[in-house]
Amino acid sequence: MATCALGACANAELTPDAGEVDAPPVDAAPPVDAPTDAMVGAGFFLDDVAADFAGGQLDQAVIETWGAIAPRAYYTGGLRVRGSDTGIFTDAVAATWAQVEAMPFTGVTAPARTLSPAWGAAVPAGVGLTSGDDLTLAYDGELYLEAGAWTFHLLADDRAFLELAPPGGAFSRVVSATHPTEASGTFVATAAGWHPVRIAHCEQTGSALLRVELSGPGLTRQAVPRHRLRFATGDLFGLVVAGFDDSRLLGGHQASIDRTTPAGAAWGSGYPADLGLADGEHFSVRWSGQLRVDVGGDFVFRYASAQGQRLWIDGVRVIDLLDDASHDTTTAPITLDPGWHALVVDHSASTGDASAQLGVASGPELVGATLLPGRLRPVEARSARYETGVDRTDRAIPDLGQAESTIVIDAPPGAKTRGVDVSWTFDHGYRGDLEIHLIAPDGTATLVRDHVGGAASGTVTERVHVTALDETTASGTWRLRVRDTISLDTGTLRDFQLTVHHQGGRPPIAPAASYTSPIKDLGELITSYQSFAWSARLGAGAAVRLRVRSGDTSDDLLAAPWSSPLVDPGAGPPPVPARRYFQYRIELDSDGDGSAIVDWVRLDTRREIP
């Protein structure tokens, strides 16, 4: 396997088809002494690569391209969006999804965190477009609906349509809209659950916008909440990358999926392209997703950045240096078992060159290389999510009075705060007069500025990271209260920016999944099953069970009951009669965060020799 020094592969394009990206995990190979049909009286079958597993029945499970069975993984909090810079449709009612899918897309995929974006004359970010005209955006994924009638309101410049399907059912058109008229349509959900959804939006010239709102059982008309959206990530690799137009993960932001240089970028005096950023001196970036470890052990990570850096592994902050200095940091050893692990990489740029390069300094694998995109997937763990907001309304700070700015954070129900990045900009005749409190939605307040600055006057921007409000409810109205406590001077509160980090939300991993193999024809004259074995990797909170059945004919097998669950991969022969036809079923359980992966399944048999 080719490797490169930290940062040296920043411009390398890796694809899932590249051997070094999607090679089977090295610790997951079946035993090398498996018997072959050439051995007298012995036989076996082995499902080990993707082609071996093909043809089985999948229920919330996937066949990984590198050859394994795993639960389906999701990006929760948005739909998948792709862009075509040459394809358009001229009639929202007559256009079909098949026509949209036939358009040439840029090849860049992004998570759409909102279904009500307004770009104006700007180029929609994150999907590889270079013009704001003559384009089509295609959104797809799933929308959670309770049982009942739902009304969807659609406004688009220039035109759009929205389609929904019942779980496992066919799509139907709900609403089509052409600028400037808003349109609405109704969809009846017969049962609560995740409903496939797809939206096509076409913009030809001028300003562009899309607005999707809904109302339904117990829900008044509103923008579609993020926690009701998700899309499967099975065919995607890399990390979600979000670009913020201010340092410290503050300000407006756009997101994409980085499949070329995840956490291994060197921008120099520039900044990340296609993320809606306009200032190369003050921006910040977050990469988030999961890293697949194939060989467990102690890993030491090295993070070199210009400038600030933060790093989370499995929800634990192992580096916390998000400041204006450059750093080259090596972590303490971190024990990682084989499987998927949550990864969050933050970078903050202020002045000068900017770069962020994360790699493995020591460990049982991946040493000396930047992170391989094929080992990464854009699945954000519930342990490190965020919502952000900006209020740029000017508010007077009266002498001996106060000004208050508010931001509404739409976090998932039940999400708890895990740190807050906050900034404010004000001007004042005497900075030392001011104290500032940050107030959480439940009313809990913490002092974030206490009469500093003395007699200095003028405009100032300050940024802090706050942990005093951890465990408060993340969703709701956050307030920044500025008080002038000493007479004679006045000022103006200019900006309030807030990013609330939290834990919670929809699970990214299917809690229950299964794979049922095709029926195996083992041939005639089977006398015994010798052993039944498999290899599994279990993330925290995950479990694997296998069941088997057999029959003299395929019909006999399908009529036979499944065995009791098998949990020991080396327990010996399967507990069913030795028959010509055999089938197994893999059942994967998860707490919604950890994945169980089955790398291979093998049955050894004995047969008569004529």
Look at the chain and report how many structural domains it folds into: 4
Cα separation values, 286 from 22, 163, 309, 564, Å: 25, 32, 10, 46
Average pLDDT over residues 337-358: 91
Evaluate whether 549 touches 561 at the Cβ level (below 8 Å): yes
The identity of residue 458, as a single letter, is G
Q: Are strands 402-409 and 476-484 parallel, antiparallel or unpaired?
A: antiparallel
CATH of the domain at 205: 2.60.120.1560
DSSP 44-68: EEEE-SHHHHTT-EEESEEEETTTE
DSSP 507-529: -SB-SEEEEEPPPEE--S-EEEE
Evaluate whether 149 touches 195 at the Cβ level (below 8 Å): no
Q: For residue 276, is pLDDT > 60?
A: yes
* Pair 405, 518 in one domain: no
CATH of the domain at 409: 2.60.120.260
401 occurs within a structural domain: yes
Evaluate whether 22 touches 374 at the Cβ level (below 8 Å): yes
* Pair 392, 525 in one domain: no
Cα separation values, 252 from 202, 389, 413, 465, 548, Å: 24, 7, 23, 18, 53
Average pLDDT over residues 401-409: 97
29 occurs within a structural domain: no
Q: For residue 329, is pLDDT > 70?
A: yes
* Pair 267, 377 in one domain: yes
**In this predicted model, what pLDDT tens digit does every residue of 440-466 receive, in sequence order?**
999 999 999 999 999 999 999 999 999
Q: Which residues contact 287 (CB under 8 A, 6 or more apart)?
A: 239, 240, 241, 258, 262, 263, 343, 344, 345
Last residue of a domain, one of 355, 381, 407: 381
* Pair 65, 81 in one domain: no
Evaluate whether 384 touches 503 at the Cβ level (below 8 Å): yes
State phi, psi for 468 to the nearest 5 degrees. -65, -15
* Pair 224, 304 in one domain: no
What CA–CA distance (Å, rounded) separates 95 from 163?
12
Last residue of a domain, one of 187, 216, 232: 232
**In this predicted model, what pLDDT tens digit does every residue of 373-388 receive, in sequence order?**
889 999 999 988 999 9
Average pLDDT, the chain: 91
User: What is the predicted pLDDT for the residue at 16?
Assistant: 37
CA dihedral 358, 361, 363, 366 (to 10 degrees): 50
**In this predicted model, what pLDDT tens digit does every residue of 559-588 receive, in sequence order?**
999 999 999 998 899 999 999 999 999 999
What CA–CA distance (Å, rounded) separates 251 from 498?
7
**In this predicted model, what pLDDT tens digit does every residue of 496-510 receive, in sequence order?**
999 999 998 999 999
Q: For residue 336, is pLDDT > 60?
A: yes
The structure tokens listed for 255 are: 């997101």
12 occurs within a structural domain: no
Q: Are strands 219-223 and 61-64 parallel, antiparallel or unpaired?
A: unpaired
**In this predicted model, what pLDDT tens digit does every residue of 99-140 receive, in sequence order?**
999 999 999 999 999 999 988 888 999 999 999 999 999 999
Would you say the C-alpha torsion 101, 238, 142, 224 has a positive or negative sign? Answer: negative
5 occurs within a structural domain: no
* Pair 331, 365 in one domain: yes
CATH of the domain at 600: 2.60.120
* Pair 253, 281 in one domain: yes
127 occurs within a structural domain: yes
* Pair 281, 427 in one domain: no
Cα separation values, 257 from 263, 297, 326, 496, Å: 12, 28, 25, 28
User: What is the predicted pLDDT for the residue at 181?
Assistant: 97
User: What is the predicted pLDDT for the residue at 80?
Assistant: 98
Last residue of a domain, one of 232, 251, 281: 232
302 occurs within a structural domain: yes
Q: For residue 28, is pLDDT > 60?
A: no
* Pair 545, 479 in one domain: no
Enter the pTM of the model.
0.89
Say whether 238 sits in a helix, a strand or coil: coil
Number of alpha carbons in the 13 Å side-chain half-sphere of residue 596: 26
CATH of the domain at 366: 3.90.182.10
User: What is the predicted pLDDT for the residue at 32?
Assistant: 52
What CA–CA distance (Å, rounded) separates 269 from 351?
9
* Pair 246, 392 in one domain: no
The whole domain housing 260 covers 239-381
User: What is the predicted pLDDT for the residue at 4?
Assistant: 32
What CA–CA distance (Å, rounded) separates 469 from 417?
7
3 occurs within a structural domain: no
Q: For residue 359, is pLDDT > 90?
A: yes
* Pair 251, 191 in one domain: no
Place of tokens 């990390």: 239
Q: Is the peptide bond before 158 cis (omega within 30 degrees of 0)?
A: yes
For a pLDDT cut of 70, what percent of the chain falls above it?
A: 93
Cβ-count burial 378-395 (b if 16+ within 10 Å, e if not): bbbbbbbbbbbbbbeeeb
DSSP 119-177: EETSPPPSS----SSSEEEEEEEEEEE-SEEEEEEEEEESEEEEEE--TTS--EEEEEE
Evaluate whether 358 touches 371 at the Cβ level (below 8 Å): yes
Q: For residue 246, is pLDDT > 80?
A: yes
User: What is the predicted pLDDT for the residue at 372?
Assistant: 87
The identity of residue 176, as a single letter, is S
* Pair 323, 342 in one domain: yes
601 occurs within a structural domain: yes
First-to-last alpha carbon distance for the chain, in angstroms, is 47
Q: Is the peptide bond before 307 cis (omega within 30 degrees of 0)?
A: yes
Average pLDDT over residues 295-301: 95
